[in-house]
Amino acid sequence: MIRQLFKRKFNQFINRRGRETVPISFDWRRIYVLPSKPGIFFSIIWFLMMMAGLNFNNNMSLMLVFLLFGLAQVVLHRTFFNLKNLRLEQVKAKPVFLGEPVTLNIQIGADDEKWQIRTDNELSSDVNNITQQTAQLKLLVPSHKRGWQPVERIKFYTRYPLGLFTVWVYCTPDEFILIYPKPESPCPDFPHHGGREGEKPNLKRGDEISGVRDYRQGDPIRDIAWKKSAQGNQIWVKEFNQSQGKNLLFDYSQLSHGSTEFKVSRMTAWVLAAEQQQNEYQILLPEFDSGMAAGEAHKHHCLTALAEYQSGDKP
Amino acid sequence: MTRIKSQLSLKQLFWITFAVLLAVLPQAYRLPMWFLPMTALVVGYRFYAQINQLKRAYNRILIMVAIVALIMIIYSQGFGLSREISVTILITMTVLKLLETYAMRDALLVVMLCYFVTMTRFLYSQDLLLVLYLFGSAFVTTHALAVLNFQRNEKWFDRKQINSTAGSLALAIPFAVLFFLVFPRLGSPIWGSPDIFGEGKTGISDSMSPGSIIELFMDDSPAFRVTFKNDKKPTNNQLYWRGPVLWNFDGRTWSREKQNSTRKTIRQYQPEQVIDYQIELESTGQNYMFGLDYIVDAPKGAFLLPDSMLYAPVKINQLRHYELQSLLLDRFYSPLSDKNETLLLNFPEQQNLKTQALIETWQQDSADPIDIVNRALNHFNQEPFFYSYTPPALEGDVIDAFLFESKRGFCEHYASTFTIMMRMAGIPARVVTGYQGGVDNGDYLLVKQSDAHAWSEVYIQEEDSGYWLRVDPTSMVAPERVEMGSRQIMDQKRNIIDYEWLINFKESMDKYRYQWNQWVRDFNVSKQEALFRAIGIDHRDGKTLALMLAGILMMTILLSLIPIWWIKRKKYHDLQKIYLQLIHLFRKQEVLYGYRTQGIEKFVHKLITLYPNIEVQANHFLKLYLNARYSVNPSHNQQTLAQLNNSLQKIKSLLKEQHAL
């Protein structure tokens, strides 16, 4: 209970700066310093040495002890200065599908040389040196929700030069990463609703019924083979012939069943499949029309729209 | 029980091994014989395993190896929890730890242990030359830590990183010096005593057999240093430094007689006769202390045995200082008990019959002890006796053999032979060992092991009392030994590097050693208090000390901060300087000036919203700047700089036209 409270207060304290716009420069006020594990072991050995030296008034032992104490002081400051005035210049990430980890491309910079700047979390870690003004770090973060996911708190730390002290900073850059919806897997068949007329409307959809199959969640109502379904308990759906090079229309409003997430996920899968089969395709969302096109840019356009749909405002 | 592969690079292993070797090898001389081969094996195997990427040996094998090593230590050094064995175990285990140093954690452990092992060396000796070892080992160990933490490149000796480690250590020295001076010391140890650490016996021992002193002649290391007060330094032939007095002779070896009482303090003397001096005795691992004949009274922590020998109940394993007063007496009056007289007349009667016969003829001429002493001395003087460091080995009746055959020897032979001759003549006599002479080394007199000497003391009975008389038969053969010192009679080199300049060099080195002993090795509570008093702090209570320590800590932190800050101070390069100039133009406009911390892009955008008519120039400036600074191939050459400067001037002039500034 108290631990929880303490933890919350502590997190409040280290997050007190809120979300900051990049570039962020780390001055001394926000740098934390603590001995590392090897540092604690060093101090234990040092303490034993000091006790022995003092007890026997062995002056050369004491010289070594005090030299090591001075060394620890110097190293403490050097580690501190190795992180001071570090800049977080950029945080960029390529969009990923929900569930996949996001690779953050972090650009750090400094006016002087900085060594062994590390960052890590549960998924990955990376280390780099800044010798030419800037350097790149990569960090994997989990994707939590579709849409624009805020970048979570990042920790940069260094133990250079001796590893006796850990000096670190926390920052929460005011940056967002785009998370596409998770595509439904396996990819369902393309829908057969006519929707709006495209440029080549007759090619958009196969007209001949090729067969019937089981109803799957989300199938358009008008594809249901009512006659056949009425004969038994099962619901049957008509299947239509499809041909390559068709213009496909994916209309959100034609998807009848399932949650928003489910529909968005299915449309994502269609977009990916259509792009892969080199079809032209168009998606229709409430208040969004992608237009009929194909290609990477179009795909990104469609997926972004799907990602942003009802997922909160774009920052 | 997983067998892990090495996580360390060859470079890291090299530095760890270097640190371990440097930490343990200076103690190898007092470790068991098998230690060096074991170390070589361990290091060799570890590198072989590293290069061939062998996995770590099974834990049970490593445990076996450790147990075997432990048994061997007990076998070589005995069983017990003495410091000696503890240190040996620590050192051996540190070396063996290399066998299981495959992971970073073990590597860090073994490197930090090296600091501790280095320290244990100083428990045995604190010689000036060990300072080099201190810094060398501290440097290598620290660098091993640095290499474990970070490898800039694959080069084994990376100049830049080595400089960085050396720099850190150099900056640590001011801390070390200040803390050394002011860190509160303990007046007395909490546990144990430093005297338990010794480097073994050195110097004159409590027995004398043929050849025992000759080893000392070869040794130029210091035995003790003497500072005379009031500049009252006796002449060289008066400098007889009394050590163990030997009573018993078994035909070959002289040894001490155990005594359970102490000698009385000399009470009657003229104050101006007294010689006041201080002795700094190097550790001997023995109980004997040295003083000029005859010591008035025993110093603190020692007592005078009835034969005027200075004896310390605790073995001298550390540098020891003591003050003495001596009287340069020719005759030392003292009673001699009957029991002691019989002891001092004892000699192997079945041996050395030729000598006994000679003494009998002397006794027939004159029975007076003084006459016999003089006769014996004349005998050495007039017969062809020679002083020699390389006498032939004597067998059987050694006195006869020396006196009638070889006639070549050094102090040991003369003192021993003379004493036995006196006993044969019925004069109580004993051998005194110690040092004779010394080298005047400026502020002090340096007495070296090679000044070791042996002489005789005979008891002359007078009517109501008796006195001891010092007789040095060696002076009859080689008077320059006593007049000028032991070095004058070395007619040949003692060993192949026995050069005059080397001896002189060692003597001048000893001056530094003397200062070192004064200021560092012997720094203690009382010297610290004197230092505090000198800077105006009389009370050594906890509060003052805490305040002082805090002050010193602050000072030393500043001492290290300033250089680091100086090195690390912000170096704006030329590009940024131009940008700073741009910002500086708007220093009076709070809103815009506040944007400077948000980066150049935001700043310029804000600038454009405030001054729309400089949009073109401002954007041009921004583009130039970003190109020069952040492009993949930064080309901040003179041309770009000039362009940026141009752009800046244009913005300036535009703003001036508007009277915006």
Tell me the average pLDDT across B225-249. 88
pLDDT tens column, B15-37 = 999 999 999 999 988 888 899 99
Strand, helix or coil for residue A137: strand
The pLDDT assigned to B1 comes to 45
Q: State whether residue A165 sits within 8 Å of chain B by CB.
A: no
For residue B437, the 8-state DSSP code is: -
> Which residues sit opposite B277 in a β-bridge?
B228, B324
Residue ranges in B78-158 assigned as alpha helix (H): 83-97, 104-124, 130-149
A227 vs A201, which has greater pLDDT? A227
Quick check: A67 pLDDT over 90?
yes
Tell me the average pLDDT across B165-188. 86
For residue A20, the 8-state DSSP code is: B
Find the closest chain A residue to B138 by CA distance.
A64
The number of C-beta contacts closer than 8 angstroms across A and B is 172
Instruction: Give residue for tokens 């500049």.
Output: B231
Whether residue A63 and residue B180 make contact (CB cut-off 8 A), yes or no, is yes
Task: Look at A22-36, B235-249, B540-554, B574-588 and tell me which has the smallest mean pLDDT.
Answer: B540-554
Q: State whether residue A69 sits within 8 Å of chain B by CB.
A: yes
pLDDT tens column, B599-617 = 778 888 888 888 888 888 8
If pLDDT is split at 50, 70 and 90, which confidence band does A199 have? very low
pTM: 0.76
The CB density around residue A152, as the number of other CB atoms within 10 Å, is: 13
The pLDDT assigned to B491 comes to 61
Rounded Cα distance, B556 and B630, in Å: 40
Rounded Cα distance, A288 and B603, in Å: 35
Say which residues have a Cβ less than 8 Å from residue B237's Cβ, sequence separation at least 6: B475, B482, B483
> Which of B182, B180, B175, B177 has its CA nearest to residue B534?
B182
Chain centroid offset of residue B295 CA? 30
If pLDDT is split at 50, 70 and 90, which confidence band does B113 have? very high
Provide the chain A residues 78-117 that lie in CB contact (below 8 A) with chain B: 78, 81, 84-85, 111-112, 115-116
Which backbone phi and psi does B430 adopt, to 5 degrees?
-150, 160
Residue ranges in chain A assigned as alpha helix (H): 2-14, 37-55, 59-83, 226-231, 260-276, 296-308
Quick check: A193 pLDDT over 60?
no
Rounded Cα distance, B15 and A311, in Å: 56
- The residue among B121, B149, B626 with the most chain A CBs within 10 A of its CB, best to mutate, is B149
The pLDDT assigned to B67 comes to 93
The pLDDT assigned to A245 comes to 53
| Averaged confidence pLDDT in chain B | 84
> Which of B227, B506, B235, B479 has its CA nearest to residue B377?
B479
The pLDDT assigned to A204 comes to 41
> Which residues sit opposite A26 in a β-bridge?
A86
The helix (run of H) or strand (run of E) holding residue A214 is strand A209-214
Tell me the average pLDDT across B591-598. 76
| Averaged confidence pLDDT in chain A | 84
The pLDDT assigned to A241 comes to 53
Tell me the HSE value of B225 on the side-chain side, using a 13 A CA sphere.
Answer: 23
The pLDDT assigned to A197 comes to 38
Rounded Cα distance, B320 and B225, in Å: 10
Say which residues have a Cβ less than 8 Å from residue A216's Cβ, sequence separation at least 6: A188, A237
Whether residue A111 and residue B573 make contact (CB cut-off 8 A), yes or no, is yes
Percent of chain B's residues with pLDDT above 70: 93
Quick check: B94 pLDDT over 70?
yes
Rounded Cα distance, B430 and B254, in Å: 9
Q: State whether residue A35 sits within 8 Å of chain B by CB.
A: no
- Token pair belonging to B151: 């490898």
Rounded Cα distance, B312 and A12, in Å: 68
DSSP per position, B8-71: S-HHHHHHHHHHHHHHHGGGGGGS-TTHHHHHHHHHHHHHHHHHTTPPPPPHHHHHHHHHHHHH
Q: Are A170 and A17 in contact (CB under 8 A)?
A: no
Whether residue A67 and residue B173 make contact (CB cut-off 8 A), yes or no, is yes
- The ipTM (two decimal places) reads 0.80
- The residue among B568, B572, B629, B630 with the most chain A CBs within 10 A of its CB, best to mutate, is B568
Rounded Cα distance, A100 and A146, in Å: 11
Whether residue A77 and residue B192 make contact (CB cut-off 8 A), yes or no, is no
For residue A173, the 8-state DSSP code is: B
The pLDDT assigned to B439 comes to 87
Q: Are B146 and B158 in contact (CB under 8 A)?
A: no
Q: State whether residue B570 sits within 8 Å of chain A by CB.
A: yes
Whether residue B523 and residue A59 make contact (CB cut-off 8 A), yes or no, is yes
Tell me the average pLDDT across B285-294. 88
Provide the chain B residues 121-140 that lie in CB contact (below 8 A) with chain A: 122-123, 126, 130-131, 134, 138
Rounded Cα distance, B428 and B469, in Å: 11
pLDDT tens column, B516-538 = 888 888 888 888 888 888 877 76
The pLDDT assigned to A251 comes to 84
- Token pair belonging to A105: 């491309």
The pLDDT assigned to A196 comes to 39
- For residue A19, the chain B residues in CB contact (below 8 A) are none
The pLDDT assigned to A171 comes to 92
- The residue among B27, B143, B150, B605 with the most chain A CBs within 10 A of its CB, best to mutate, is B150
- B148-162, B384-398, B561-575: range with highest mean pLDDT: B148-162
Instruction: Give residue for tokens 């210049």.
Output: A89
If pLDDT is split at 50, 70 and 90, which confidence band does B186 have? confident
Q: State whether residue A258 sits within 8 Å of chain B by CB.
A: no
Tell me the HSE value of B175 on the side-chain side, using a 13 A CA sphere.
Answer: 26
Quick check: B640 pLDDT over 70?
yes
Which amino acid is present at A169?
V
Quick check: B647 pLDDT over 90?
no
Tell me the average pLDDT across A206-214. 64
Chain centroid offset of residue B94 CA? 23
B559 vs A187, which has greater pLDDT? A187
Find the closest chain B residue to A65 by CA distance.
B176
Rounded Cα distance, A44 and B657, in Å: 69
- For residue A81, the chain B residues in CB contact (below 8 A) are 564-565, 568
- CB nearest to B149's CB, from A60, A66, A163: A163
Whether residue A55 and residue B189 make contact (CB cut-off 8 A), yes or no, is yes
Q: State whether residue A66 sits within 8 Å of chain B by CB.
A: yes
Rounded Cα distance, A83 and A261, in Å: 43
Quick check: B440 pLDDT over 60?
yes
Instruction: Give residue for tokens 């004069």.
Output: B427
Whether residue B172 and residue A74 make contact (CB cut-off 8 A), yes or no, is yes
Whether residue A41 and residue B164 make contact (CB cut-off 8 A), yes or no, is no
Instruction: Give residue for tokens 């080995």.
Output: B393
Tell me the average pLDDT across A101-125. 90
> Which of B121, B411, B464, B410 has its CA nearest to residue B243?
B411
Neighbour order of strands in the sheet with A288-289: A247-251, A280-285, A288-289
The pLDDT assigned to B196 comes to 65
B605 min Cα distance to partner chain A (Å): 15
pLDDT tens column, B38-91 = 999 999 999 999 999 888 888 899 999 999 999 998 888 877 767 788 889 999
- State the angle between helix axes of B83-97 and B10-24 in degrees (0 to 180), rounded to the nearest 10: 160
Q: Are B234 and B436 in contact (CB under 8 A)?
A: no
- A147-156, B384-393, B497-506: range with highest mean pLDDT: A147-156
Provide the chain B residues 514-533 that lie in CB contact (below 8 A) with chain A: 520-525
A184 vs A237, which has greater pLDDT? A184
Q: State whether residue B564 sits within 8 Å of chain A by CB.
A: yes
Quick check: A246 pLDDT over 80?
no
The pairing of strands A24-26 and A86-93 is: antiparallel
Whether residue B134 and residue A58 make contact (CB cut-off 8 A), yes or no, is no
What is the CA angle B256-B261-B264, rounded to 5?
110
According to the 3-state scheme, what is the secondary structure of A163-206?
Answer: CCEEEEEEECECCEEEEECCCCCCCCCCCCCCCCCCCCHHHCCC
Whether residue A54 and residue B146 make contact (CB cut-off 8 A), yes or no, is no
Task: Look at B162-171, B246-255, B390-399, B458-467 and tell me which has the smallest mean pLDDT.
Answer: B390-399
- For residue A66, the chain B residues in CB contact (below 8 A) are 175-177, 179-180, 183
The CB density around residue A252, as the number of other CB atoms within 10 Å, is: 18
Which backbone phi and psi does B426 adopt, to 5 degrees?
80, 20
Tell me the average pLDDT across A63-87. 92
Whether residue B180 and residue A160 make contact (CB cut-off 8 A), yes or no, is no
Work out whether the CA dihedral B344, B349, B352, B353 comes out positive or negative. positive
pLDDT tens column, A121-159 = 888 899 999 887 889 999 999 998 888 999 989 999 999
- CB nearest to A58's CB, from B126, B164, B572: B126
pLDDT tens column, B320-361 = 889 999 988 878 888 888 888 888 888 888 888 888 888 889
Rounded Cα distance, B569 and A112, in Å: 9
Quick check: A203 pLDDT over 50?
no
Q: State whether residue B490 sits within 8 Å of chain A by CB.
A: no
Quick check: A6 pLDDT over 80?
yes
Rounded Cα distance, B24 and B119, in Å: 10
> Which of B185, B181, B180, B174 has its CA nearest to residue B554?
B174
